[in-house]
Amino acid sequence: MKKQILFLALLTSLVVRAQQPVVNGSFQLDAQAYVTDAAIGITDSALAGQRSGFNGFGNVVINWGDFRAGMRYEAFLPPLRGFDPRLEGNGFANVWLNYRTDFAEITAGNFYEQFGSGLLFRAYEEWSLGFDNSLNGLKLQVYPTKGVVLKGVYGSQRYFWQPYTRNSRGLVRGLDADFNLNELIPERENAPWRLSLGMSGLSKYQRDADPIYVLPENVGGWAGRFTAGWGNFILAGEYATKINDPGAVNNFIYREGRAALASLSYATRGFGAVLQLKRVDNMGFKSDRTQLGNALDINFIPPLNRIHAYSLTGKYPYATQVNGEMGLQLQLNYKIPRNSLLGGKYGTSVAINFSQVNDIVRQPVNDTTPIGQDGSEGYKSKFFAVSDHVFFRDLNVEIDKRFSSRLKGVFQYMNLHYDIATLQGHAGEEAVEAHIGLADLTYRIDTRKTIRMEAQLLLTKQDLGDWAALMAEYTIAPKWFVSVSDQYNFGNPDNAMRKHFYTVAAGTNRGATRLALSAGRQAEGVVCVGGVCRQVPASSGLTLTFSTSF
């Protein structure tokens, strides 16, 4: 607490002395009151006495000339159901100071940072997942010349509310260099091509006190990347590798880790295309080798899948498989011109997206060691070999069309293959094959009043069977909205489980402030952001959300 008081005093003195400090920040509060609802399996024992959940934060950043300082208070009292119970607690989770000159910038305290696309290192925070792997330490950024950025990070990662003590978890230290050749080489500033290169190295230290395994105390990794542009094309690639890093995630195998990403995109007026490829092999990287789940991740494997925003298209989201996956995504966007046969008066947008993720091929390292045996090399794997085992496939087509000045619609079809046994740990369950369709119509009644209706249908023979969802939302701009929705699991193979999950919500927006209240049921599911997921248990009750920023 002393630290926080000192920090506040320092901040106050900065503000007092400052001529024109700029302060900004945000606050959010998510509170739920839970009730028992035997029909969907929420009994007293399932709630285990938890009648309420509360997640909240307040974040303030002060800019004062070359200085910046920020702090974030968080409270999870206790966390909402579905969030990691280790989050329970309150306090200043994030406190930092930053000083910047034209040549260099230093940050002390808790900070976020990313090298390249994050294959080797990404410290970030995702409120909706309760995820935060910020580093607590120091970060130095140097700008030696135009077009060059050097970064160094050193610290320990956040682990819920557990303070770092000697050997309680690992330390992370990393360096990154980024070169923008068009800026670095003066005569290339206006060249038709654009090229930037980057490289990074990172090492974690965690002591070995294990009586069984001989463990590496220092695990290093490196990554190289490039982005090249020519005309309407952009080609980018990144490759990362790390040395032997046995841990709970890979079942203590000593194989090196590798990950590669590549993307090619093309954009012109009315048309865009992106092709992305990735290969991940034993690339789970944590600052504590004993951890599973999302805690203490050092790196981040970007997902190559469309992020679906609707409730049923998002019902089976992809969870990144750090131990091995090969993925491909192709996204095509086309705007059919106005006043054409298909475009109509207002034009029509068509988006086609295909993604597929398969397992990698693993072969035994020798005749006597099973694949993945702990305390061995684990397996061998050919770089370009793709396994027949499909984790995930999503083909979706979306049409956005405006019919008149008052009516517009979004129509989507999605064809899904989802290996629920791997992606959600439902061992032995058959992969979900689903057809999902939706229509989302928005009708503007007058300049202030809008009504939006959503209808969705998910058809599958696996998992919980078919679902339908309906939603209607009435908005009186700019302040009020009210909505009713229902998800109905009409095709559940168990007749007794064919339940409705209805919700009524209302809220108000005042500038950057939003207050919403909803009541009803939430179906069990999985929430994923960027391939990082958390399970959401079914719940019933009242939810209050408040958020504001300034």
Partner 1 sequence: MKNIAILFVLLAAIIGSGCDHIEPPYKQQSGQVGTADRKVLLEDFTGHTCVNCPTAALIAHNLKTLYGDRLIVMAVHAGYFARPQSAPFDADYRSQAGEAWDQFFNISANGNPNALINRQKNNTYWHYPPGSWSTKVSEAMQSEAHAKIELNTSYEASTRKLGITAKTTFLTRLQGNFRLQVCLVEDSLVSAQRNNDPNAGTTPVISQYVHRHVLREAVNGIWGEQILSNPEAGYSATKSYQLNLPAGYNAQHCAVIVFVYDAETYEVLQVEEKHL
Binding site for partner 1 (CB under 8 A): 48, 84-86, 89, 144, 148, 150, 160-163, 165, 168, 173, 175, 177, 179, 199, 201-203, 205, 209-222, 243-244, 246-248, 251-252, 254, 288-293, 370-377, 421, 425, 427-428
How far apart (Å, rounded) are the C-alpha atoms in residues 202 and 441?
Answer: 49
How far apart (Å, rounded) are the C-alpha atoms in residues 352 and 334?
Answer: 9
Q: Which is nearer to partner 1, 58 or 89 (CB)?
A: 89
Q: Which is nearer to partner 1, 333 or 373 (CB)?
A: 373
How far apart (Å, rounded) are the C-alpha atoms in residues 280 and 330?
Answer: 18
Least separation in angstroms between CB 210 and partner 1: 5
Least separation in angstroms between CB 246 and partner 1: 7
How far apart (Å, rounded) are the C-alpha atoms in residues 369 and 387?
Answer: 20
Q: Which is nearer to partner 1, 378 or 530 (CB)?
A: 378
Q: Which is nearer to partner 1, 196 or 311 (CB)?
A: 196
Q: Which is nearer to partner 1, 232 or 290 (CB)?
A: 290
Least separation in angstroms between CB 177 and partner 1: 6
Least separation in angstroms between CB 451 and partner 1: 42
Amino acid identity, position 454: E
463: left (phi over 0), alpha (psi -120 to 50) or beta: left
Q: Which is nearer to partner 1, 272 or 293 (CB)?
A: 293
How far apart (Å, rounded) are the C-alpha atoms in residues 134 and 137?
Answer: 9
Q: Which is nearer to partner 1, 174 or 520 (CB)?
A: 174
Nearest 5°: CA angle at 170, between 169 and 174? 150
Least separation in angstroms between CB 292 and partner 1: 6
484: left (phi over 0), alpha (psi -120 to 50) or beta: beta
Least separation in angstroms between CB 508 and partner 1: 35
Q: Which is nearer to partner 1, 164 or 310 (CB)?
A: 164
Give the CA distances from residue 528 to residues 7, 84, 287, 310, in Å, rounded to whole numbers and listed in that order.
Answer: 35, 14, 22, 13
Least separation in angstroms between CB 291 and partner 1: 6
Least separation in angstroms between CB 435 and partner 1: 26
How far apart (Å, rounded) are the C-alpha atoms in residues 235 and 228?
Answer: 5
Q: Which is nearer to partner 1, 211 or 231 (CB)?
A: 211
What are the backbone angles phi and psi of residue 185, rounded to the nearest 5°?
A: -100, 110
Least separation in angstroms between CB 207 and partner 1: 9
SS (H, E, C) 72-104: EEEEECCCCCCCCHHHCEEEEEEEEEEEECCCE
Q: Which is nearer to partner 1, 44 or 210 (CB)?
A: 210
Q: Which is nearer to partner 1, 24 or 535 (CB)?
A: 535
Which of 266, 274, 394, 260 minimizes the C-alpha distance to 330? Answer: 274
Local structure of residue 129 (DSSP, 8 states): G
Least separation in angstroms between CB 156 and partner 1: 13
CB pairs under 8 A, 24+ apart, for 174-177?
A: 174/115, 174/120, 174/121, 174/200, 174/201, 174/202, 174/203, 175/150, 175/151, 175/200, 175/201, 175/202, 176/115, 176/116, 176/121, 176/150, 176/151, 176/152, 176/200, 176/201, 177/148, 177/149, 177/150, 177/151
**DSSP string spanning 326-383?**
EEEEEEEEEEEPTTBTTTBTT-EEEEEEEEEEEEEP-B-SSSSSPTT-TTS---B--T
Least separation in angstroms between CB 296 and partner 1: 11
